[in-house]
Amino acid sequence: ASMVQILTNSSLFCMQTLKSKEGPTTCRDNGDGKQVIIDGDVESLTTWPMVNVDVAGPNSVVANITGLGEVFAVRYAFWSRDNRGCCGKNDPTSGPCPLANCPLKSSSGLPANPFVAHIVEGKCKCLPPQVCDE
């Protein structure tokens, strides 16, 4: 799998959740540092489906979003309840992820950093301190 996921429902964007056993999800950070209540599953692979990617150049990839509608956000190697990211079965706080487990790498073999970005007018707009608009 590419580990690239896209979001087609902007109301389900959340950087960090606090899930109660009953009721809606509390989003601790909606990307703007604000806490909001979200009625929906913000972590599932239905909300954030995996997409295939192809190398488009030395510093870019192209995601195949055919049939998915408008895209509001993209993320790579992001750990969630339904997607363990590049760590496989390991919880990322329990120790290091296996080496070379993520598919996107530089020409020298270094892995790409995990990221999340909004899509604004067809281009990535990363959340600070990330930079992805070049």
Most confidently modeled range among 26-35, 99-108, 125-134: 26-35
Instruction: Give me the pLDDT at residue 120, please.
Output: 86
Overall average pLDDT of the 23-49 stretch: 82
Instruction: Give me the pLDDT at residue 84, please.
Output: 61
**Residue corresponding to tokens 């190697």:** 77
- Is the bond leading into 103 cis (omega within 30 degrees of zero)? no
Helix (H, G, I), strand (E, B) or coil at 12: helix
Alpha-carbon distance of 79 to 96, in angstroms, equals: 13
| Residue pLDDT, tens place only, 44-84 | 778 888 898 888 887 788 888 888 888 999 988 876 655 66
Q: Is the dihedral of CA 88, 58, 117, 68 positive or negative?
A: negative
